[in-house]
Chain A
Amino acid sequence: MKIVIVGAGEVGFHIASHLAHENKDVVVVDKNADALRRVSENIDVQVIHGSGSSPVVLMEAGIKSAEILLAVTNKDETNLVACLMASMLSSSTKKLARIRNADYDDYHEHFQQHAPHIDTVINPEIEVVKTIDRLMQVPGAVDVGEFADGRIKFIGVYLEKTARLAGVQLSDLPSMLGDERPLIAAVVREDELIIPHGNDRLMAGDLVYFISEEDKLYAALSVFDKHAQPLNRVLIIGGGRIGFRLAALLDQRSIQSKIIERNPERCSLLAQKLNKVVVLCGDGSDQSLLAEENIQDIDVVITLTDDEETNILASLLARRMGARKTITKISKFSYLSLMTTIGIEQVVSPRLSAINSILQHIRRGKVISAISIKGEQAEVMEAVAMETSDIVSKPLKRISFPKGAIVAGIIRQEKIIIPSGESVIEPGDRIIIFATRKAIPGIEKIMAVKLEFF
């Protein structure tokens, strides 16, 4: 499968690296020679120097034989033109574009049906707001994903020292918890991802990923000693595009919220557009301002300024001054792995969100959604089991699954089944698969529709 990526920024780089690890043919196009050098020196892909919106460059990149075009530069205009050119040159190529400006929000469908024929418009900001919303709802979660239209949640929580599951062997779970136990899909310990087996133990400090149905979520969380807390007061620091979207959402829900923005003009604009939200003009890392606004009573502080360092500092400060929970926006991937060390647990990344939404569209077979976790080491995906694929109509234990992959859930009509070795997947079932990066090509092979000869 050949994929052309326009834009070698953080998003382009990480998607390229992700796909190259899965042995796909990737061509990266960018105008910036330095960004390209970083790509060609680190990833096994082809690079082409030039503007992705130029038809000549796209032809050179082999757009005609490409299955997918990803336009992910930081300029909406370039992405749109790249898709337009691609649809002129090669109409069969699937096109995905990252478009961030809210002014285009109402036209996403128009783009699909008319001229550029963009199959999927990705707005990472919308995704980020959704992620923040989920993180706010689920107590103690550092990672929340949704499957089956939100009916199945995929949650990552840190195991505290005092938690009763710390030190417990997995095979002892049934006797401890009975049938209502959550399915533990993966554990991240000291930056390494483990798919645990019966005789593995959970340790304090582990980041545990589990899968749970929505209505059993709070019960599942209480197993990990995470208890529901009311969400009444929210403080947003940074009134940029994401901040505004989030504030507007909270405005509708009648949650008491405040937003701090430094730029007076932007403040006045926010104040015009928002009704109940209190707009404050000032610096989010200003202690006296935070104290004045009763930071100790705030349930969640979300830092969303454009400056990474400010976000980190403001979150740490808010936590120290008594805020119950913080969510921090981080864009630089290199920072992500440092966050737990300095005491920031809940992080959102627009770029990671963009990558997640792009990935689900790239997966072969009928993949409905895909979420990458732990700095892209692994992926959870939801897919439809096709009738002619290898995965259906035999017990799971007889399917030669690649190492590092498990089926974490089966959704049959309205029912959700947590599978065992005896479970059989039927055609048309939606299955949730958890797989490490290395196992993904193998999974794709199992899921793919086989060509049958008559």
Chain B
Amino acid sequence: MRWRYILNIVGILNLFFGLTMVFPLLCGLFYKDTSVIPLLESMVFTVGGGALLHLFFRGAKAEVITQREGMAIVAIAWTVIGLTGALPFYLGIENCSFVDAFFESVSGATTTGASILTDIESVSKGLLFWRSFIQWLGGMGIIVLSVAILPFLGVGGMQLYKAEVPSPVPDKLKPRIRDTSMILWKVYALISLAQVVLLLLGGMSLYDALCHAFTTMPTGGFSTRNASVAHYNSVYLDTVIIVFMILAGINFSLHYQVMRGRPLAFWRDSECRFFLGAVLVLVLLVSFDVYGAVYRSVGQALRYGSFQVVSIVTTTGFATADYEKWPAMSQLILLLCMFLGASAGSTGGGMKCLRVMLCFKFCYKELFLLIHPRAVTHVKIAGKAVPDDIMRSVLGFMSLYMGLFALNSVILAGLGVDFMTAVGAVAATIGNIGPGFGMVGPVDNYALIPEIGKWLLIWCMLLGRLEVFTVIILLVPEFWRK
């Protein structure tokens, strides 16, 4: 572990992150609101701090980054970015404690969308823009963006990319990681742009359209309104957002293939079929469940049922209805959705459909082997056998994920919150969803969680965004041994 080099790179990444604060700053200047000074201060501090860190350790150079160093860089960079991203909130919002600002910033960068703000609409436009923009950056990955734009990350970029976008099955669109990152970001930006246009057509203001597109595509879920998307009460806007949440929940390399003129790519990909199929089945189940019990008409049941299911399963976390008033089955389905998550290679969180699918197939294989003890079978995806080591890492991931979920919810309950809140808050933060159950349901927020609990949930959000291994490995003593 070459610490000087790691800090050097973290410095560069932070500098780069600081530069992106120019966008909310422009927005603040445009609206001439109170956010200008705090944003300017934060930007100077972040850029300056990053530059100092880089200059101080500029002597430390390396040709290659090892996998270990890549993980350390990404985990540390995300924490530092969370801290510096919190500065505008800390400086710009009255009575905002540091842990609250940090929580809000990490919730943004990890695309969780859990908020501690009780009155969102009272916050200045510049800050709300930053709050949405930080989600957009975090969705496709601030480090992936750096790899695409900063040429000197070159070969080392690969290790950083792997640590920030850990996919169960490696997926490289182009021979070089830089080109791959660039394509992903272009596709991401293009779809976001399409959504902005469609939202504008539905009557949203440009500001709201931008902010909502910035939080839909990364499956983030921050809204500029207290009532989230329910504020607009428009079937058209609901539909547009549902469609784009689903798009964001699909592997971005499939979007690239479709754009390259292969329209059947979605259908040919088994994970995508699984994801779309699961969404359809769950939407029908929930709509059927809430029809009659909550909503009078089939149309309404479908509208609210589908929005909420899609919002949760893609781990976005927008709300158009208070699902805590729904029947138990619907609530349980939504809870399970938090674990299922979106596709691998999408911006969504959770355990990812691919892993769940592999796990199902693995279980079936075990049953099959009980019936035919001498059979030779493999877990297959798209006609190809999945190597044992990938299967192992998938199972390892799922056990760790469930284990950490259990441990953290016990700790949270120990801090004095009730059962549903503890379970819901941890499931919603480790899966990067946002709204949970109980005290942190879709119409509530995280302001009332005790302070230690907020630190715990910040950790959960980072765990979820970097897919557990990159973060948890820093806690393994072996990692630090020379």
Per-residue 0/1 for A22-46: is the Cβ within 8 Å of any B Cβ (1 yes, 0 no)?
0101110000010000001111111
A217 at interface (Cβ–Cβ under 8 A)? no
A2: chain B residues at CB < 8 Å are 175
Q: Flag if B67 contacts A41 (CB, 8 Å).
A: yes
Known contacts A20-B155, A21-B155, A44 near B177 by CB under 8 Å = yes
Q: Flag if A40 contacts B170 (CB, 8 Å).
A: yes
Q: Flag if B170 contacts A44 (CB, 8 Å).
A: no
Choose among B64, B172, B387 the residue that contacts A42 (Cβ–Cβ < 8 A). Answer: B64
B174 at interface (Cβ–Cβ under 8 A)? yes
Candidate in B155, B175, B178 with the most chain A CB atoms within 10 angstroms: B175
Choose among B67, B154, B387 the residue that contacts A44 (Cβ–Cβ < 8 A). Answer: B154
B289 at interface (Cβ–Cβ under 8 A)? no
A42: chain B residues at CB < 8 Å are 64
Interface residues of B in 168-182 (CB under 8 A from A): 170, 172, 174-179
Choose among A40, A41, A44 the residue that contacts B176 (Cβ–Cβ < 8 A). Answer: A44
Choose among A27, A33, A43 the residue that contacts B155 (Cβ–Cβ < 8 A). Answer: A43
B158 at interface (Cβ–Cβ under 8 A)? yes
Per-residue 0/1 for B97-120: is the Cβ within 8 Å of any A Cβ (1 yes, 0 no)?
000000000000000000000000
A27: chain B residues at CB < 8 Å are 175
Report Cα–Cα, A121/B272, bound state, in Å: 45
B387: chain A residues at CB < 8 Å are 33
B157: chain A residues at CB < 8 Å are 44
Chain A residue at minimal CB-CB distance from B64:
A42
Name the distance in Å between B148's Cβ and chain A's nearest Cβ.
Answer: 13
Report Cα–Cα, A27/B175, bound state, in Å: 6
A40: chain B residues at CB < 8 Å are 170
Report Cα–Cα, A25/B172, bound state, in Å: 12
Interface residues of B in 135-169 (CB under 8 A from A): 154-155, 157-158
Per-residue 0/1 for A1-26: is the Cβ within 8 Å of any B Cβ (1 yes, 0 no)?
01000000000000000001101011
Known contacts A25-B179, A33-B387, A46 near B154 by CB under 8 Å = no
Name the distance in Å between B61's Cβ and chain A's nearest Cβ.
Answer: 12
Report Cα–Cα, A310/B170, bound state, in Å: 41
Report Cα–Cα, A33/B170, bound state, in Å: 13
Name the distance in Å between A183's Cβ and chain B's nearest Cβ.
Answer: 28
Chain A residue at minimal CB-CB distance from B151:
A23
Number of residue pairs A-B, CB distance < 8 angstroms: 30
B155: chain A residues at CB < 8 Å are 20-21, 43-44
Interface residues of A in 112-137 (CB under 8 A from B): none
Name the distance in Å between A301's Cβ and chain B's nearest Cβ.
Answer: 36
- Total contacting residues, chain B, CB less than 8 A: 15
A21: chain B residues at CB < 8 Å are 155
Interface residues of B in 378-423 (CB under 8 A from A): 387
Report Cα–Cα, A447/B115, bound state, in Å: 57
Q: Flag if B158 contacts A46 (CB, 8 Å).
A: no
Choose among B64, B67, B172, B178 the residue that contacts A46 (Cβ–Cβ < 8 A). Answer: B172
Known contacts A33-B387, A44-B157, A25 near B175 by CB under 8 Å = yes
Q: Flag if A25 contacts B154 (CB, 8 Å).
A: no
Chain B residue at minimal CB-CB distance from A16:
B175
Q: Flag if A23 contacts B64 (CB, 8 Å).
A: no
B172: chain A residues at CB < 8 Å are 46
Report Cα–Cα, A43/B174, bound state, in Å: 13
Report Cα–Cα, A344/B345, bound state, in Å: 51
Name the distance in Å between A62's Cβ and chain B's nearest Cβ.
Answer: 9
Report Cα–Cα, A43/B156, bound state, in Å: 9
A20: chain B residues at CB < 8 Å are 155, 176
Known contacts A20-B155, A44-B155, A26 near B175 by CB under 8 Å = yes
Name the distance in Å between B257's Cβ and chain A's nearest Cβ.
Answer: 13
Name the distance in Å between B306's Cβ and chain A's nearest Cβ.
Answer: 37
B178: chain A residues at CB < 8 Å are 44
Chain A residue at minimal CB-CB distance from B155:
A44
Candidate in B67, B170, B172 with the most chain A CB atoms within 10 angstroms: B172
Q: Flag if B158 contacts A25 (CB, 8 Å).
A: no
A44: chain B residues at CB < 8 Å are 154-155, 157-158, 175-178
B179: chain A residues at CB < 8 Å are 25
Report Cα–Cα, A315/B220, bound state, in Å: 66
Choose among B64, B170, B176 the residue that contacts A25 (Cβ–Cβ < 8 A). Answer: B176
Candidate in B155, B177, B179 with the most chain A CB atoms within 10 angstroms: B155
Report Cα–Cα, A42/B170, bound state, in Å: 14
Name the distance in Å between B70's Cβ and chain A's nearest Cβ.
Answer: 11
Q: Flag if B67 contacts A25 (CB, 8 Å).
A: no
B64: chain A residues at CB < 8 Å are 42
A41: chain B residues at CB < 8 Å are 67
A33: chain B residues at CB < 8 Å are 387
Report Cα–Cα, A25/B177, bound state, in Å: 10
Report Cα–Cα, A33/B389, bound state, in Å: 11
Report Cα–Cα, A25/B178, bound state, in Å: 10
Report Cα–Cα, A20/B387, bound state, in Å: 26
Q: Flag if B67 contacts A23 (CB, 8 Å).
A: no
Per-residue 0/1 for A373-389: is the Cβ within 8 Å of any B Cβ (1 yes, 0 no)?
00000000000000000
B177: chain A residues at CB < 8 Å are 44
Report Cα–Cα, A25/B180, bound state, in Å: 11
Chain B residue at minimal CB-CB distance from A50:
B384
Report Cα–Cα, A41/B163, bound state, in Å: 12
Per-residue 0/1 for B207-243: is the Cβ within 8 Å of any A Cβ (1 yes, 0 no)?
0000000000000000000000000000000000000
Report Cα–Cα, A21/B154, bound state, in Å: 8
Name the distance in Å between A371's Cβ and chain B's nearest Cβ.
Answer: 22
Choose among B67, B154, B170, B175 the residue that contacts A45 (Cβ–Cβ < 8 A). Answer: B175
Report Cα–Cα, A106/B416, bound state, in Å: 85
Report Cα–Cα, A97/B157, bound state, in Å: 31
Name the distance in Å between A59's Cβ and chain B's nearest Cβ.
Answer: 14
Name the distance in Å between A2's Cβ and chain B's nearest Cβ.
Answer: 7
Per-residue 0/1 for A47-67: is the Cβ within 8 Å of any B Cβ (1 yes, 0 no)?
000000000000000000000
Name the distance in Å between B393's Cβ and chain A's nearest Cβ.
Answer: 13
A45: chain B residues at CB < 8 Å are 175-176
Q: Flag if B175 contacts A23 (CB, 8 Å).
A: no
Report Cα–Cα, A33/B178, bound state, in Å: 24
Per-residue 0/1 for A62-78: is the Cβ within 8 Å of any B Cβ (1 yes, 0 no)?
00000000000000000
Report Cα–Cα, A27/B173, bound state, in Å: 11
Report Cα–Cα, A43/B67, bound state, in Å: 12
Interface residues of B in 316-334 (CB under 8 A from A): none
Name the distance in Å between A212's Cβ and chain B's nearest Cβ.
Answer: 32
Name the distance in Å between A28's Cβ and chain B's nearest Cβ.
Answer: 9
Please list 6 pairs of residues, one from A and one from B, whose beta carbons are closer than 8 Å in the complex, sorted by A's number.
Answer: A2-B175, A20-B176, A26-B175, A33-B387, A43-B155, A44-B178
- What are the 4 tightest A-B residue pairs by CB atom distance, in nearest-first order? A25-B175, A46-B175, A44-B158, A46-B172
11 further A-B pairs in the complex, CB-CB below 8 A; given A26-B175, A27-B175, A44-B176: A2-B175, A20-B155, A23-B154, A25-B179, A41-B67, A44-B157, A44-B158, A44-B175, A44-B178, A46-B172, A46-B175
